[in-house]
Structure 1
Amino acid sequence: MASMSSVGPNEDSTWTGSRDSGSISSIYPADCGDPEVQGSIQFAMNYIQKHAEFHIFVVNCRNLLLADTKKNHSDPYVKCYLLPDKTKLGKRKTTVKKKTVNPTYNEIIRFKIMMEDLKIQTLNMSVWHNDPFRRNCFLGEVDVDMSEWDFSNTLINEYALKARVSGQTPSSTRLTDSRGQMSLALRFLLQTSHNKSHRETGEVQIWIKDCKNLPPVRGVLIDPFVKCIILPDKSRKNRQKTRVVKRTANPMFNHTMVYDGFRPEDLREACVEITVWDHDRVNHHYIGGLRIGPGTGRSYGMDVLWMDSTTDEANLWQKMFQCAGEWVEGVLPLRMLLMAKFMTD
């Protein structure tokens, strides 16, 4: 959770000087009629290596828009996200400054995050007018792409606040939609039967290699693992998992799952559901998943919601049939899954 202070940076930080910069976009719906934006925000950034903490020293805002014209004042505060996580638990805020368009904060906002994960985030700083009786009013924002940030720069920088661009999908919204990607391989090994009275069966092998750019959960580093099930069999014995990889958005699993006893015609009615989770002692948190199958919407003559493979997922499944006995590989984007069947242990 956020740790904030009303004093200057601690002894681990060095904050000096000033330099102009700026960026674009927003993840928020329009408030207060989506007013025009003016003014600027000053803040500095520093990464404290020994604590694995990202610090944002919010200094002040200047020349903000007058939000409440009837009362002739604004009550501004600053809200901060590391995108693509925009959950409430991933949100940080300063205090509200009353009746001013030139608020001074001098507060430190902290995120507990590893440097390798910070470098794939976008810092979103937005300014809002606090209204206890109506929706808060958007006053402007700045985005900073942390993959391009020079972490030796601990200067206090001044950024011009930006408005949202009407009719365009914000870049931070696109980031939020991204749930990372998975590298995996499949193969179907047909087992030769010497008894002609038995139908030929085989085994499906699913090699989970790694994931890349998984989004943070609750604003902190994740402990990811993978679950797998082949639908329509929902039984517990049909469920398999990888190990948990600690504190990373780019886990390497290198884990093979094997399911046997499948006839080729059965697999044309089946779907491999793979889901990625953040491990938690109380309640695991869903990150994203894949459904690799025919994608027909039907299984054994019945309409089913889980037979919803994307084109890329269905193509990988089809390729497995075409290359029987050989590994077929793919890198697929993780996505939200409607009615995932393997949502709990």
Structure 2
Amino acid sequence: MPIIRRSRGSSPPPSLSPPATVISTTSSHTNTTVHPAVGVLNGLLKDIPLPPWAIFIIFSLGLIVIVLCCLWVCKKCCCTRKKKKQPKKKDQERINLDGVNGKTTTALVQPDVNDVDYGSSRKYRGKLLYSLDYDSAQSEVVVGIKQANSLKAMDLGGSSDPYVKVYISPDKTKTCETKVFRNTLNPVFNEKFSFQMTKTALLKSTVVMQVFDFNRFSKHSIIGELRVQLCNVDWNHVIEEWQDLEEASKFEDGSLGEVCFSLRYVPTSGKLTVVILEAKNLKSMDIGGSSDPYVKVQLTLDKRKWKKKKTTIKKKTLSPYYNESFTFDVTFEQIQRVNLVISVWDHDAVTRNDAMGKIFLGCDATGNQLRHWADMLSNPRRPVAQWHNLLSAQQVNSTLTLKKKIPLSNKLPF
């Protein structure tokens, strides 16, 4: 076989056998491994029977609601912080420095009392102008209630309906009241009240002047009071002065309870109708801490006892409810001379009945009692109801001063 020689630059001869085919086992697609959370989300979306666009809208609305809630919370927090910072600014501005001229150290260190209205636990209740005088010839003390100023507002409208109650402690045998002034904090009373008293009694007596806010259908609220010890008064001249009202003393508990009743008068028929509605906070008269109260309704004519009626007895209660009506024949001429006496009694089956409290209305009455009577006369044919504080029987009897009945001619001893 001949030897074939190749030159150095020539190409190799073609191979006689066919080239081997190489098969690659490497996969041509990319890695598509899915995150588990995405798989769970896709599963949930497939379970929701809604189209994708609806799911997108619901998700967007939920996101908007969450953002709005976050903004609202942030706004509230900012407003709260501002409110907490405001009192500090107000406290710094509460001292009025308009009158400080810088020339005196007193003006800088100690401002006027009227310019400082904080830091004191005492509540301002207003002030009262009163007068005191003693008539030695008549042996009586004359108490004048002139006027009040800057009273504390007790009603929701920022005003009050003030009146003044005057009595002398500790005897308290007589209680007087001024007229009621509507919707004012600066009433002008100009009323005088006299009390019989010896010079020796002056040394142990105290004049009490209490300012109340009138309420027709609830308990009257006390605004403040003044107590003047008569032993410290110089009776050589008339005393007239302003004094700030103080908080009412709690050690003197003289409350005997309250009674509510309505009055109605018809001039044409001459009918006076008294409806005893109820009473409350009555004084306990029995050993068990209760009472058996009933109410006596009495008319007096020309300072003499005239007619009377009474309610039923309510057993073992201090707040009885009656709603009982009584009608009296009183002509228009007589109504000008009539007084109505309302008294509450405790019934005792064995012993004598005890008086628990008393009140009288009519032309001889004063204060709230006179006002109630005047309201009845000025509103004929219409019932007028009102609550009244009960007084002791001694107080009412000393004020009313009823005369004894004149004996009949057939009963005279001669």
Provide TM-score, normalisation by structure 2: 0.30
More helix by share: 2
Could you say which structure has the greater relative contact order, defined with CA pairs below 8 angstroms and 6 or more residues apart?
A: 1
More strand by share: 1
Provide TM-score, normalisation by structure 1: 0.36
